Amino acid sequence: MKSNEIDYKLYGNDLQVVEVELDPGETVVAEAGVMNWIEDGISFEARMGDGSHPGSGFFEDLLSAGKRVLSGSSLFLTHFTNVGQGKSKAAFAAPYPGKIMALNLAQLGGSVLCQKSAFLCAAAGTEISVAFTQRFGAGFFGGEGFILEKLSGDGLAFVHAGGTVIERKLNGETLRVDTGCIVGFTPGIDYSIQRAGGLKSMLFAGEGLFLATLRGTGTVYLQTMPFSRLADRILAAAPKAGGKSVGEGSVLGGLGGLLGGN
């Protein structure tokens, strides 16, 4: 199925939102819970399938939804369709700071593998499935698990990454990356893992036990602030049960406690 040809506009810098313009009859498929606003004429419906294979039966859609659940995504995808007479817009954003990337799948070899939860929305006709890492070690130690999301088609797909996004072109080269910093990569890139150096480096360097190795010819997308890293810092600074949070021992921390009624 040929993907719908949609127009879009990105707003913001570090907390971006993408606004998609739909002609009458056009549809955009989005991850559950990422919609910000819709204009008159936009109707939405939760479905188990992505709609890329019209006529597929209930069990095919159920199998596809089950695979998505394994990847950590929601069971349902939301289909936003312009049922009006003129153009209408729908906007989507991720729940944490970062950048939204518009990927033209037709220009990227027809598919992109991306980390779990990176998918935001895509033009109808895009197949949203899962792919297993090729090696047991990559799946067991690779940080993102055995399963990656696979976006296939010839239209636009939008993914979200934390912090700043870096696009690297590899031409038979090798790049070693923190496993959480990978957003996605195109066909032609081989994904595996390696130890992060000797035993002392693995235990005390703070870079984790393993690094992802990306090798081949294609495009790699990297993020500077993985959500897991952000969440770890927030949890470390959060008040502990029955104790004090980091910073409460300072003058400003004590003043803040008084103003807050503590």
Q: Name the residue with higher pLDDT: 63 or 175.
A: 175
Tokens of 166: 């870096």
> In this predicted structure, what is the pLDDT of residue 13?
86
Average pLDDT over residues 123-149: 68
Angstrom distance (rounded) from CA 247 to CA 239: 10
Which class for 202: exposed (0-12), middle (13-18), buried (19 or more C-beta within 10 A)?
Answer: middle
Q: Is 234 helix (H, G, I), strand (E, B) or coil?
A: helix
State mean pLDDT over 192-205. Answer: 58
Nearest to 178 by CA among 154, 205, 151: 205
Tokens of 43: 């109707």
pLDDT for 34 equals 93
- Average pLDDT over all residues of the chain: 80
* Residue 255 pLDDT > 50: no
Residue 80 has pLDDT above 70, yes or no: yes
Q: Nearest CA to 101 among 10, 236, 214, 231?
A: 10
Residue 111: strand, helix, or coil: strand
* Torsion sign across C-alpha atoms 176, 180, 183, 184: positive
- Diameter of the chain measured on Cα atoms: 66
The reported pLDDT for the residue numbered 258 is: 45
Report pLDDT for 251. 47
Residue 137 DSSP label: H
Residue 175: per-residue pLDDT = 92
Tell me the C-alpha to C-alpha distance, in Å, between residue 192 and each of 138, 216, 250: 5, 11, 45
Supply 13's token pair.
């810098």
d(C-alpha 103, C-alpha 237), whole Å: 36
- Domain chopping of the chain, boundaries: 7-233
146 pLDDT above the threshold of 50: yes
Given a contact cutoff of 8 angstroms between Cβ atoms, the answer to whether 165 and 103 are in contact is: no
> What average pLDDT does the segment 169-191 reach?
90
Give the rounded percent of residues in the chain with a pLDDT score beyond 70. Answer: 71
Residues 223 and 208: their CA atoms lie apart, in Å, by 17
Q: Give, as one character, the DSSP assignment of residue 230.
A: H
For the domain made up of 7-233, the CATH class stated in words is alpha beta
Whether 157 contacts 126, CB under 8 Å: yes
pLDDT(4) > 60 = yes
HEC string of 51-76? CCCCCCCHHHHHHHHHHHHHCCCCCC
